[in-house]
Amino acid sequence: MRKLFAAIMAAGAAAFAGPVVAADLPFYPPVIEVPDVDYGVSGAFYLRGSAAGTMLWSKEANAYECLAPCGGLVVTQFPFVNMGYGYSVGAGFGYETGTGLRFDATVDYLANNGLKVTKGPAYGARAGDYTVNLRSTLALANVYYDFSLEGGQYGYGAAGGAFGYVGAGAGLAYNQVDVSAPAGVVVPSGSNTSFAAAGMVGVGYDFGSVVADVGYRGVYIAQLSNSAAVPNHVWADNNWVHEVRGTLRYRFN
């Protein structure tokens, strides 16, 4: 009987004291961790380097010629019969906005040989093959738009991934022109500065601080010329350099 009475009293005391103790305990709401939202790459500066294989194409060369019986020098057009082949290497500095747009300034060195014209027997001692050996320095200001190939919101995501890009550039080309001529014929070497522009398209992969891409670049050079005096002045207008180019970019802030 005493044990039963003691058990009832203990249960009653616990029922009375429980709410009092709970009222004295501080209340801490649960903490829920919310991950940051990935809005893509934030603005960042970058350095870039590139290398490419090139093909040089132009419609025709212009030169001063005199056919017998010579009535005076006239500007004559000679179609190019072979394309030129070579390479380019370049470097640049740029900024990406994090919205898909990026901008950079690039300087490229281009070497190309083999662009050729042939003058027929009617040109006498000047008949034969003439081959253009070109060395150019291209300075371009460029703008690009990067778009995700994996469904990112802007450009490519901060977590990295595959992307495509399109771009355009404009600037100047400083050209050194050497012409290999038939035996006994001398065509002076020379240089000129010309307007240049470029269009780019390609694909790449963002690894984080390093971004790699490969693509096509078409470079337009308004004129190639040896800038020599008449009658040794030769030139070609509306020239195109076609490139398959690989690029690495390194981001830093």
Contact indicator for 225, 238 with CB cutoff of 8 Å: no
The pLDDT confidence band at residue 45, using thresholds 50, 70 and 90, is: very high
Contact indicator for 166, 204 with CB cutoff of 8 Å: no
Per-residue pLDDT at 224: 97
Q: How confident is the model over 54-61, as a mean pLDDT?
A: 97
- pTM of the model as a whole: 0.80
d(CA 78, CA 27): 92
Q: Is the pLDDT of residue 222 over 80?
A: yes
Q: How confident is the model over 169-180, as a mean pLDDT?
A: 97
d(CA 176, CA 223): 12
Residue 89 burial by Cβ neighbours in a 10 Å radius (0-12, 13-18, 19+)? middle
